[in-house]
């Protein structure tokens, strides 16, 4: 049981790879694995943001709508206003930080429960991006209200972020691995990272110990909004359009990846390496099911079962550890 607690999720990934390799000869190819890496890069970025809020004992339901807002922001800057790469990157990042700031104000200052507060922000952000675009996606040469066409376009340097490769490795995968490593080092080896965990472990004890709890909770929501915005940039550059509500499906996948991460190596707590492994598990699962022609609406059932299994191992392990104590 101890082995299963620590390595159960990794074992499931290995079994899935073996099963899909047997059932489809195209699964175990370099091209397919690069497709998996591209697909999980966006989910992983969203899940990293969710992980930060979980660490401080919170939860951010607005990440999906923030991804959509960032996607629309970068697309509008390029297509509607003919801006260059720097502006197309800065606009969504600022928007993501603003959403994080609003979330932290509602949850930390007004003290509305995080699920309710971020749910309200999710609706507000959805309404803003739909009102701004009037419900239309943003794409090259799209018709405008004045009868003409959009003056700008998605530039190659922006599209490279989501579609390019370096040394035959998808650039989004390189970005994903870079951020996973940086966040892992930050959470593991810096004072700020440790204080985030202290804040989430026991908020009152942390406050009595002199930790500025509210400040670190605010940092978590800001980082959640920031990583959702980065995911939105990668999404827009990958599909080459600014699609309204494009980030909505990413919320549940990001949350699932972050929660599955609890069970990785018996951590029993939010951690970015576990979040990455959770994204890999979801990516392999969805890719394999798609290659088996399983309908997309049935794939959610399998994801839910996998999530239940991972969380069952995690909380059973935690209960067993509490009994020993």
Tens digit of each residue's pLDDT (9 = 90 or more) over 284-306? 988 998 888 888 778 888 877 87
Instruction: Record the pTM.
Output: 0.92
Query: CA 220 → CA 70, 97, 148, 175, 193, distances in Å?
Result: 19, 11, 43, 20, 10
Q: Convert the pLDDT of each residue in 167-183 to its tens digit.
A: 889 999 999 999 999 99
Confidence band, pLDDT 50/70/90 cuts, at residue 51: very high
DSSP state of 76: I
Whole-number Å distance between alpha carbons of 13 and 284: 8
Rg of the chain over CA atoms, in angstroms? Answer: 20
Do the Cβ atoms of 244 and 137 come closer than 8 Å? yes
pLDDT single digits (tens) 95-116:
999 999 999 999 999 999 999 9
Contact 82, 144 (CB under 8 A): no
DSSP string, 219-276: HHHHHHHHHHHHHHHHHHHHHTSB-TTTTHHHHHHHHHHHHHGGGGGG--S--HHHHH
Average pLDDT value for the chain: 89
- Do 36 and 20 contact (CB within 8 A), yes or no? no
Contacts of 88-93 with CB under 8 Å at 24 or more apart are: 88/155, 88/158, 88/233, 89/233, 92/229, 92/232, 92/233, 92/236, 93/226, 93/229, 93/230, 93/233
Say whether pLDDT at 145 is over 70.
Answer: yes
Q: Enumerate residues 6+ apart whose C-beta is below 8 A from 232.
A: 66, 67, 68, 69, 70, 71, 73, 74, 92, 96, 247
Q: Parallel, antiparallel, or unpaired: how do β-strands 165-166 and 169-170 relate? A: antiparallel
Fold of 2-320: ABC transporter involved in vitamin B12 uptake, BtuC (1.10.3470)
Q: Return the pLDDT at 101.
A: 97
Question: Which are the contacts of 58, defined by CB distance < 8 A and separation ≥ 6?
Answer: 107, 114, 200, 217, 220, 221
What count of other Cβ atoms lies within 10 Å of the Cβ of residue 299? 16
pLDDT of residue 96: 96
How much is the pLDDT for 157? 95
Q: CB of 257 within 8 A of CB of 153? A: no
Whole-angstrom distance, CA of residue 20 vs CA of residue 76: 40
């Amino acid at each position: 049981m101890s082995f299963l607690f620590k390595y159960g999720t990794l074992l499931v990934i290995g079994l899935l790879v073996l099963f899909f390799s047997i059932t489809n000869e195209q699964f175990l190819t370099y091209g397919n694995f690069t497709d998996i890496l591209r697909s999980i890069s966006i989910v992983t970025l969203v899940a990293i943001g969710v992980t930060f809020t979980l660490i401080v004992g919170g939860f951010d339901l607005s990440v999906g709508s923030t991804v959509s807002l960032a996607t629309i922001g970068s697309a509008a800057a390029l297509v509607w206003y003919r801006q260059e790469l720097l502006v197309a990157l800065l606009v969504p990042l600022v928007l993501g930080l603003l959403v994080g700031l609003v979330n932290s104000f509602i949850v930390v200052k007004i003290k509305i429960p995080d699920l309710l507060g971020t749910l309200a922000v999710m609706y507000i952000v959805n309404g803003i991006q739909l009102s701004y675009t009037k419900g239309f996606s943003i794409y090259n040469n799209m018709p405008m209200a004045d009868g003409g066409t959009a003056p700008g376009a998605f530039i190659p340097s922006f599209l490279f972020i989501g579609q390019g490769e370096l040394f035959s490795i998808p650039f989004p995968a390189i970005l994903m691995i870079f951020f996973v490593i940086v966040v892992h080092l930050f959470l593991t080896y810096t004072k700020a990272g440790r204080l985030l965990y202290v804040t989430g472990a026991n908020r009152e004890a942390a406050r009595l110990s002199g930790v500025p709890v509210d400040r670190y909770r605010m940092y978590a929501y800001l980082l959640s909004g920031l990583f959702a915005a980065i995911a939105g940039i990668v999404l827009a550059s990958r599909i080459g359009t600014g699609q309204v509500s494009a980030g909505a499906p990413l919320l549940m996948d990001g949350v699932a990846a972050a929660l599955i991460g609890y069970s990785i190596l018996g951590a029993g707590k939010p951690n970015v390496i576990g979040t990455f492994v959770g994204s890999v598990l979801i990516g392999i699962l969805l890719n394999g099911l798609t290659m088996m022609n399983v309908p997309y609406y049935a794939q959610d059932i399998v994801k839910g079962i996998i999530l239940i299994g991972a969380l069952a191992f995690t909380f059973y392990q935690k209960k067993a550890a509490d009994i020993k104590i």
